[in-house]
Chains A and B, each alone.
Chain A
Amino acid sequence: MFDLTEPILELVRLAATDLPPDVEKALQQALKREIPGSAAHGALETILKNVELARKNSTPICQDTGTPIFYVHHPPGWSTRALRQQIEKAVAEATQRSYLRPNSVDSLSGKNSGNNLGGNYFPTVHFEEIDGEALIIDVMLKGGGCENVGAQYSLPHNALGAGRDLEGVRKVTLDAVHQAQGKGCSPGILGVAIGGDRGSGYLASKEVLFRDMEEPNADPELAEMEERLTEEANQLGIGPMGFGGSSTVLGTKITHLNRLPASYFVSISYMCWAYRRRRMTWQDGKAEYR
């Protein structure tokens, strides 16, 4: 078995410092929708300059490098225990090199571990065995500002008049965007999970954010709802940073899970514009990144 510490370190560096092209493109399109000279336009200009600078200098796009969340899809025969150790080593080294901010805090003592490690959930690593020869690692860095404005609704929701259907999903999602205002670093990307339980719903609402910005939902009804939600969220006029403007949300991704007869949860993960996610594919002894 290979030691993947170095290739994983490169994956983390890329994620923290080099915004994926689909996200950058969406930000450029958002800039075109704002009025030149407006605060919204200025904010997006600064955001795009920052993206360029971070890439050039290999410095973090955002100082909040978030919780590093890994999804490892491995062929049979890999040791998940060894992989976890390599991921932890790479994360600690990335912190040492200032690609990541030390972000792991003991909730009782308040002490920061200093190296982004701590317990079984920091970093968060999910493993899944897959067919084939290639090992694939996805990583997402999600900061605290946007994580704090995530929301979970139990339907029916009387105050919002939201029932147990897609129309109800639309209502609570718009409410979440309104509640977030600019606090989640808009323009954001919405990950919406319908169903599941409180735990699996939130997890799925993050997993759906691995989809490409431009990839439409395979389900035509959900594809339509994704477009509608993005369009209506933008009608709210919250704009970049909450300065007002037409770009509140860059995109919406919806997924669904089976639920209990008694439960109908809608879980919404709000992703900030600094939508940092990267993939490494390891095959034939070498890594490819995208």
Chain B
Amino acid sequence: MRTINIPISDETIRSLDVGEPVALTGVMLTGRDAVHKWMVETFIKKTRPPQGDDLEVYNAIKPILNGSIIYHCGPVVAGLDTKQYRFVAAGPTTSIREEPYQGDVMHHFNLKGVIGKGGMGAKTLKACQETPGVYLHAIGGAASWIAQSVKRVLGVYKLEFGVPEAMWVIEVENFPVVVTMNARGESQHAVIEQQSRVILERLLANK
């Protein structure tokens, strides 16, 4: 299995094949529904003015995301009382909910990868070709296993979104994922969807 260090170069990103398992090492950020909505409305489409610590947080996460990865994850975190945070369980959440936002977020922050589960659609696939970037599939539900590769929690932003929805800055080592959408416009999800559709139609025609 190839080990990839974060930040990731464009050259490395372009070399990744669909179906290839890789192990990630470096610093990434978690972000899911509330975060993507906040990013797009406040800083990309600017339909909502920055409030509270929005600008401060934006300036803090920009360098973290540049050349890095966003992880669709709402973790179980221990140490909330003492702020000695530790990830207890940290599998991926379903990514397709971020489809309206993801492409814009990838462009804006120069993201090289998105980790989640279930795959994403045409808009994100196009962004993967343009930035370039990849979609990386983690094993859904394997939360205790995945948490082992999160070595340290370096910080957290927007904890008021709630523990699952906050942006956790994490340092990972050999974080296991499979490339399912790549920078050449290939999507394993589109292929499986199409193949299973053909079989479904045959099964529906049967008695």
Q: Which residues in A have their C-beta under 8 angstroms from that of B4?
A: none
Other-chain contact of B140, A57, A59, A236, A272 (Cβ < 8 Å): A272
Which residues from chain B contact A100 at a C-beta distance below 8 Å?
Answer: 76
Q: How far is the CB of A1 from chain B (nearest CB, A)?
A: 32
Q: Which residue of B lies closest to A145 (CB)?
A: B94
Give Cα distance in the complex from A98 to B180, angstroms: 31
Q: Chain B contacts of A144 at CB under 8 A?
A: 93-94
CB distance from A30 to the nearest CB of B (A): 14
Contacts of B203 in A (CB 8 A): 174, 232, 235-236
Listed by A's residue number, 27 A-B pairs whose Cβ atoms lie within 8 Å are A39-B19, A43-B139, A46-B142, A46-B176, A49-B145, A53-B148, A60-B76, A62-B91, A62-B140, A62-B142, A62-B143, A63-B90, A63-B147, A98-B88, A98-B89, A100-B76, A101-B76, A103-B164, A112-B161, A144-B93, A145-B93, A175-B200, A182-B140, A185-B141, A235-B203, A243-B137, A272-B140
For residue B189, CB closer than 8 A to chain A, the reply is yes
B104-158 CB contacts (< 8 Å) to partner A: 117-119, 137, 139-148
Compute how far the CA of A98 lies from the CA of B88 in the bound complex, rounded to whole angstroms.
7
Give the residue of B74, B137, B193, B197 whose beta carbon is less than 8 angstroms from that of A241. Answer: B137
Interface residue ranges of A34-91 to B (CB < 8 Å): 39, 42-43, 46-47, 49-50, 53-54, 57, 59-65
Residues of chain A within 8 A (CB-CB) of B192 are: 181-182, 237-239, 242-244
Q: Is the CB of B74 within 8 A of A50?
A: no
- B118–A59 contact, CB under 8 A? no
Q: Which residues does B use to contact A, with CB under 8 Å?
A: 19, 21, 34, 73-78, 88-91, 93-94, 96, 117-119, 137, 139-148, 161-165, 176, 178, 180, 188-189, 191-193, 195-197, 199-200, 203-204, 207
In A206-253, which residues have CB < 8 Å from any B CB? Answer: 232, 235-239, 241-244
Contact: A181 with B140, CB < 8 Å?
no
Which of these, A60, A167, A232, A244, contacts B88 with CB under 8 Å? A60
Do the beta carbons of B143 and A242 come within 8 Å of each other?
no
Q: Contacting B145 at CB < 8 Å: which of A42, A53, A160, A181? A: A53
Give 4 new A-B contacts, CB below 8 A, not counting A182-B117, A183-B118, A242-B119: A39-B178, A181-B189, A239-B192, A243-B178
